[in-house]
Amino acid sequence: MQAVEDRTGAGSAARRNSLKASASAFSPPSPFQRGFDVAFRGLSLALAGSVIALLLGIVYQVMAHAAPAIRDLGTHFLVETKWNPNKQVFGVLPEIVGTLYTSCLALLGGGLLGVTTALVTSQGFLSRRWELVLKNVIELLAAIPSVVYGLWGIFVLIPILRPVAKVLHEQFAFIPLFETPFAGPAILPAALVLAVMILPTITAISREALAAVPKRLPAAAYGLGATRWEVIFRVVIPTASGGLFGALVLGLGRALGETMALAMLVGNANVYGWSLLSPGSTIAALLANHFPEAGPVEIRALMYAALVLLMMTLIVNLLGAAIMARATRGLKGLV
Amino acid sequence: MSERAIVRPRLRQPELDAGLRASHDGLRYSLKHRRTLLDAICTGVAFSLAGLALVPLLSLLAMLIVRGGPLLNLELLTGLPPAAGMPGGGIGNAIVGTLIVVGIAALFSVPFGLLAAIYLAELGNGSRFESVVRFAAKTLTGLPSILAGVFAYAVVVVTMGRFSALAGGIATGTLMVPIVTLTAEEALRMVPSRMRAAAYGMGSTRAQVALFVVLPAARPAILTGVTLALARAMGETAPLLFTALFSNYWFQGHIDQPIASLAVLIYNYASSPFDDLVGLAWAASLVLVSLVLVTNLVAQWLTRRPIEH
């Protein structure tokens, strides 16, 4: 009471002055402050809108520059197998097949390793500390630039694969996968490096999916006497299956667009087939190889190829995002 | 205790022992049981696969040190690339070039992403527009990096009529914008809402709250996001191939000219028939990976500092 009286009562002049001063700090914003506020909010809004504009701009620019090629080449571009700027014959069938083939192979390897690593680092096999260490080491894989993977592939992986591939071709040439001799740069080393590159993506998203499984589901299964892997295979994986599937699809999206490692390792030959040992090509590698020295007509065809790549990755990524969203919503009922 | 008391009068000692042993065996972890054995095998397979996943990383890092390490010296870091087939030379212009390209990229992508993030976290009020922006940013992060190069080629290279450092910076910055936006938004959202409430209660405008209260509080986490984006941008090669191109000379202060970068140098020299150039590619890889890892470590160190309240 005493203090309140002191503050509101007829105190000294100095106290009254300080009251005035503090009152001014609580006064409404000055015209300048209000103007600044409006300008700042307008600028933020404009730049937020620019994020959308950036996405649409990329799609628009690629489409606009590809338009003449789309008019000239039409859908024949998608089934033509030759790429010859001199005769003005352009087609990306080998590249589309190569992109899908290498990506799916990479998904097979990267998916298996990625989901396994996510399980090992999340299902209580290791102490918290070691789980974190292993997780960080796997994340290091994502930090290494893809051009360095390409260099490693050329000088380490391909020499290692050479004797193995020789035996595979000599003994198992009747299997379409090994029907051609090993070319050095080929589908197999490209897919292996790609698998390593998408592994951290798949591990990270799978870990999230596994972490979203409510703890009491595995706890109940353990209580019934299930072993750890019975719990993982029959409870954890089925519950997280939506999220794990989404992780694989997003990993595929990453693989489709990967450029440098493939441009250095796939051999860039305009052929396609089942053989893992033969060279091939991908759309991204085609762009990387031809863009720097292309003439105007070839540029248009390359823009068309870029559009095909853009559409492929957009569809796969949107599909992955939709699957992830559905998976999270599906788990909400269980929590 | 009490169970024993009940059981003991009914059974003789040998029978009791046998029964106890049997039930104990059933609970003990023993590989003689089919289910436990299967479990142990699965664990073994899983750990082998996880170990297999680490082999490429270890091999890669070892090779970088073995092939690139001996070449590290002052001439390498400060010299120009040699003529084909000549020994010696360095990658100094490529190191400078990488930093300049990433600098140009950061110059426009960081303010761009930051203000977009402030809109998303502070001003959007959960509107439909806000979710469209977030969706666009997420879609952009999934886009192949080479398409950023195609975009910059179409917008900058075609307009200017030549390859340039500016085009490379814009291509790289295009990749950084969504990363900065999404990480900064998350950082801003972590700031406790009572800090905003206190500032609004004192009559602050929304701009004042965002700029002078929320932004400083979220600064460490935002810096982490920016640093991670920078680390990723440094290693990007595909967007530079046909935007910044390459140059054998020092940066002359003209951002409308082609410029060297570590990433493109590695790509060009990796397929070179000359051992000296391949050696330079390994040394450049070691320098590039070190730069990226150090930047990543800085990012982690920034996260470790607590949010200032």
Taking only the tens place, the pLDDT of each residue in B4-55 is 444 445 556 666 666 666 655 556 666 777 888 888 888 899 899 988 888 9
Reported confidence tier of residue A9, pLDDT bands at 50, 70, 90: very low
- Nearest-by-Cβ selection for B143 from A193, A313, A321: A313
- Nearest-by-Cβ selection for A151 from B129, B203, B285: B285
Question: Which tens digit of pLDDT belongs to each residue from B238-266?
Answer: 888 888 878 777 877 777 788 888 888 89
- A129: how many CB neighbours lie within 10 A of its CB? 8
Share of chain B above pLDDT 70, in %: 87
pLDDT of residue A215: 87
Average pLDDT over chain B, rounded to whole?
Answer: 82
- Among B60, B301, B184, B266, which Cα is nearest to A142's? B60
Question: Which tens digit of pLDDT belongs to each residue from A69-122?
Answer: 888 888 888 887 888 888 888 888 888 998 999 999 999 999 999 999 999 888
CA end-to-end distance (rounded Å), chain B: 56
pLDDT of residue B174: 92
Question: Which tens digit of pLDDT belongs to each residue from B77-114?
Answer: 777 777 766 777 778 888 888 999 999 999 989 999 99
Structure tokens at A293: 């020295």
Residue B230 has pLDDT above 60, yes or no: yes
Number of CB pairs, chain A paired with chain B, less than 8 A apart: 259
pLDDT of residue A10: 44
- Could you tell me how far CA B18 lies from the centroid of its own chain? 60
Q: Given CB atoms, is A185 within the 8 Å cutoff of chain B?
A: no
Find the residue in B nearest to A36 (Cα).
B207
Q: Is B22 exposed, middle or buried (0-12, 13-18, 19+ CB in 10 A)?
A: exposed
Q: Given CB atoms, is B148 within the 8 Å cutoff of chain A?
A: yes
- A-chain residues near B178 (CB < 8 A): 51
How far lies A78's CA from each of A69, A97, A309, A317, B40, in Å?
12, 10, 12, 21, 50
- Could you tell me how far CA A269 lies from the centroid of its own chain? 26
Q: Given CB atoms, is A134 within the 8 Å cutoff of chain B?
A: yes
DSSP secondary structure letters along A168-219: HHHHHTTSGGG-S---SSSHHHHHHHHHHHHHHHHHHHHHHHHHTS-THHHH
Chain B interface, best mutation among A22, A144, A147, A264, by max B CB count within 10 A? A147
- Among B146, B299, B152, which Cα is nearest to B231's? B299
Q: What is the mean pLDDT of residues A40-46?
A: 87
Q: Given CB atoms, is B177 within the 8 Å cutoff of chain A?
A: yes
What b/e readout covers A299-313, taking b as 16+ CB neighbours within 10 angstroms?
Answer: bbbbbbbbbbbbebb
Question: Which tens digit of pLDDT belongs to each residue from B177-194?
Answer: 999 999 889 888 888 888
Question: Which tens digit of pLDDT belongs to each residue from A182-226?
Answer: 777 888 899 999 999 999 989 988 988 888 888 888 888 888 888
What b/e readout covers A188-201, taking b as 16+ CB neighbours within 10 angstroms?
Answer: bbbbbbbbbbbbbb
pLDDT of residue A196: 92
pLDDT of residue A192: 92
Question: Which tens digit of pLDDT belongs to each residue from B138-167?
Answer: 888 888 889 998 999 888 888 888 888 888
Residue A333 has pLDDT above 80, yes or no: no
DSSP3 helix / strand / coil % (chain A, rounded to 5): 75, 0, 20
Chain A interface, best mutation among B123, B130, B139, by max A CB count within 10 A? B139
CA distance A168 to A171: 5
- Nearest-by-Cβ selection for B144 from A199, A259, A263: A259
CB contact under 8 A, A292 and B245: yes
Average pLDDT over chain A, rounded to whole?
Answer: 83
- Nearest-by-Cβ selection for B281 from A26, A117, A151: A151
Find the residue in A nearest to B244 (Cα).
A292
DSSP3 helix / strand / coil % (chain B, rounded to 5): 75, 0, 25
Q: Given CB atoms, is A324 within the 8 Å cutoff of chain B?
A: no
The answer to whether B76 touches B283, Cβ cutoff 8 Å, is yes
pLDDT of residue A22: 47
- Could you tell me how far CA A65 lies from the centroid of its own chain? 26
CB contact under 8 A, A120 and B46: yes
CB contacts under 8 A, A 205-224 vs B, are none
Residue B274 has pLDDT above 90, yes or no: no
- Among A23, A24, A19, which Cα is nearest to A6's? A19
Q: What is the mean pLDDT of residues B61-81?
A: 83
Structure tokens at A334: 């269980």
- B-chain residues near A210 (CB < 8 A): none
The answer to whether B179 touches B137, Cβ cutoff 8 Å, is no
- A-chain residues near B235 (CB < 8 A): 143-148
What b/e readout covers B261-270, taking b as 16+ CB neighbours within 10 angstroms?
Answer: bbbbbbbbbb
Residue A312 has pLDDT above 80, yes or no: yes
pLDDT of residue A148: 92
pLDDT of residue A2: 41
Find the residue in A nearest to B45 (Cα).
A116
CA distance A117 to B52: 10
Reported confidence tier of residue B306, pLDDT bands at 50, 70, 90: low
Note the ipTM here: 0.82
Report the sign of the C-alpha dihedral through residues B173, B307, B300, A115, in that order. Answer: negative
